[in-house]
Amino acid sequence: MKRAILTAIMALALYPFASAQMKVEVKIDTAPENGQVIPKEIYGQFAEHLGSCIYGGLWVGPESEIPNVDGYRCDVLQALKELKVPVMRWPGGCFADEYHWRDGIGPREDRPRMVNSNWGGTVEDNSFGTHEFLNLCEMIGCEPYISGNVGSGTVEELAKWVEYMTAADGPMARLRAENGRKEPWKVKFLGVGNESWGCGGNMVPEYYSHLYNRYQTYCRDYSGNRLYKVASGASDYDYNWTEVLMKNIGSRMHGVSLHYYTVKGWNGSKGSATEFNEEEYYNTLGKAVEVEPVIVKHIAIMDKYDPEKKVDLLLDEWGTWFDVEPGTNPGHLYQQNSMRDAMVAALSLNIFHKYTERLKMTNIAQIANVLQSMVLTRGDKMVLTPTYHVFRMYNVHQDALYLPSACDAEKFTDGNGRQCPYVDATASRNAEGAIHVTLTNVSLDEAATVTIDLAGNAKPRITGEILTAETIQAHNDFDRPDEVKPVEFKDFKVKDGKIVVKMPAKSIVGLYIL
């Protein structure tokens, strides 16, 4: 009993109740001086040959009884089209550095099999290869981002892959045509290795940067295709990796990557995706928003070597990482996705919007059935996750002018001393002049009255939608696919030229101001 009282007092100290209802002011700069557009690639996705991300998630094969178009699941295709996926990274991840592209071309029945040693030792039949991936990108209208094998491949293998995908003429183009595709594809983004400090070869940055220079030399621009080359970047707080790459590679790379996961720790339990308490919830958000100082520090190093901002930063893996669902293969990283994940997604996107002068792409891990997914599938069933709904609500910000905002919300301090505002906001204006404001109230028990000052732009035609749920653990499962989904939101009014919004606790609100 005494312990329970003590825990309650500690919880109150960490997460104080602001008042009966929080009052928050958000001031939006509608005429920013250095008009910065939010690149659509900030909303990038990542699909790896891992668990059921590809097989069962995106691809079931043309012979499947699950409704499909040329082997791609109809339900997932439709969901991804509605999401407006701008770019998709493939085939890994760690898998990329063991992937040999020639195994994934030609008649499917003749393709060799391999053991996917990184991910549960599952046998990979290579039925989803270069053609299947690049055709999928064309079908959903997104840019492909190819992750090349540096760890166990060769310079020649990667060079020929680029030629196979993009050259209009020559031996690789002929081979491609024999395999059914005459026209080359457009492939812009090329990753030269993945996590080369770890599963991609356990290299030191000095060695990797020299290797990068060699690999990239032979990855040519064919037939009008222009490659955008990405060096395999740091994990989290490894600032030395970025420093060495900036020094040794410089403008021979168009971008350098960074990976940051919202994870409790790499050893031991990472916690359940759906069974967590209040303290774990706020700690997860604390870890998620710690990405901001991490981005800032990597950018500061890049600024030192590249003040003209020729090299971009790409956060090409991010998202929540919890324990796998009970009874599933630990190597398949299948986790559920709750309202907590929705909050992590929203807070992260708000942060990414601020740094797009340097941060040009991010890729959430991963698109289906792995880590913080957009969709979960089982047999012929599919559910959209709360994270999917956030990405759909936020896609109005793609390629829109960023409108910086200042929010005076109270902050909580998590169990690790990290601070995060209870209420947060992000805003943009699209080419048609519509302003979109997205608000997040992460508090578990406090509603908020948010007054938005749009400097006279609070026009009368405003529509809204809200994502919220009874509990923060709420999630969509195959028997309850619509437990968490956005609905119309009307609890706002225009008063004295400002928009006053009544936000319930644990909610995400999108306002569309026409």
Give the SS3 label for residue 377.
strand
Q: Given the complex with ligand AHR, which of 51 and 486 has the nearer CB atom?
A: 51
Shortest distance, CB of residue 139 to ligand AHR, whole angstroms? 24
195 catalytically annotated: yes
The residue among 442, 443, 435, 484 whose CA lies nearest residue 464 is 435
Shortest distance, CB of residue 364 to ligand AHR, whole angstroms? 10
Q: Given the complex with ligand AHR, which of 194 and 338 has the nearer CB atom?
A: 194
**Please, are residues 163 and 135 in contact by the beta-carbon 8 Å criterion?**
no
Shortest distance, CB of residue 478 to ligand AHR, whole angstroms? 23
Amino acid at 428: S
**Please, are residues 211 and 219 in contact by the beta-carbon 8 Å criterion?**
no
State yes or no: cis peptide before 419, omega within 30 of 0. Answer: no
Distance CA 91, CA 78 (A): 21
Q: Given the complex with ligand AHR, which of 195 and 414 has the nearer CB atom?
A: 195
Distance CA 299, CA 306 (A): 10
**What does the DSSP assignment read for 114-183?**
EEETTTTTEEE---S-HHHHHHHHHHHT-EEEEEE--SSS-HHHHHHHHHHHH-SSSHHHHHHHHTT--S
Distance CA 245, CA 422 (A): 37
State the burial class of residue 136 (Cβ atoms within 10 Å of its Cβ: 0-12, 13-18, 19+).
buried
Phi, psi of 370 (to 5 degrees): -135, 130
Shortest distance, CB of residue 366 to ligand AHR, whole angstroms? 6
DSSP letter assigned to residue 86: -
Please report, for residues 30, 197, 463, the alpha-carbon distance to residue 500 in angstroms, rounded to integers and kept in the order given: 17, 49, 13
- Please identify which of the residues 48, 98, 317, 446 carries the catalytic annotation: 317
Q: N- to C-terminal Cα distance for the chain? A: 55
- Quote the distance between the C-alpha of residue 155 and its chain's center: 29
Q: Given the complex with ligand AHR, which of 56 and 421 has the nearer CB atom?
A: 56
Shortest distance, CB of residue 124 to ligand AHR, whole angstroms? 14
Distance CA 436, CA 394 (A): 9
**The tokens of 380 are what?**
């012929």
Q: Given the complex with ligand AHR, which of 41 and 317 has the nearer CB atom?
A: 317
Shortest distance, CB of residue 397 to ligand AHR, whole angstroms? 24
Shortest distance, CB of residue 437 to ligand AHR, whole angstroms? 32
Q: Given the complex with ligand AHR, which of 15 and 261 has the nearer CB atom?
A: 261
Closest residue to ligand AHR, judged by C-beta, is 93
Shortest distance, CB of residue 11 to ligand AHR, whole angstroms? 32
- Please identify which of the residues 163, 195, 290, 446 carries the catalytic annotation: 195
H-helix or E-strand containing 284?
A: helix 278-289
**The tokens of 353 are what?**
């919007």
State the residues that interact with ligand AHR by CB under 6 A.
48, 92-94, 194-195, 317, 365-366, 371
Distance CA 426, CA 438 (A): 5
317 catalytically annotated: yes
CB atoms within 10 A of CB 468: 21
| Residues sharing a CB contact under 8 Å with residue 223, sequence separation 6 or more, in sequence order | 166, 167, 168, 169, 184
Q: Given the complex with ligand AHR, which of 7 and 152 has the nearer CB atom?
A: 152
- Quote the distance between the C-alpha of residue 261 and its chain's center: 10
Q: Given the complex with ligand AHR, which of 190 and 469 has the nearer CB atom?
A: 190
Give me the count of residues in the chain.
Answer: 514
Shortest distance, CB of residue 42 to ligand AHR, whole angstroms? 18
**The tokens of 379 are what?**
């047999």
Q: Given the complex with ligand AHR, which of 39 and 319 has the nearer CB atom?
A: 319
Distance CA 331, CA 324 (A): 9
Q: Given the complex with ligand AHR, which of 45 and 338 has the nearer CB atom?
A: 45
Distance CA 410, CA 17 (A): 10
Shortest distance, CB of residue 126 to ligand AHR, whole angstroms? 18
- Name the residues annotated as catalytic: 195, 317
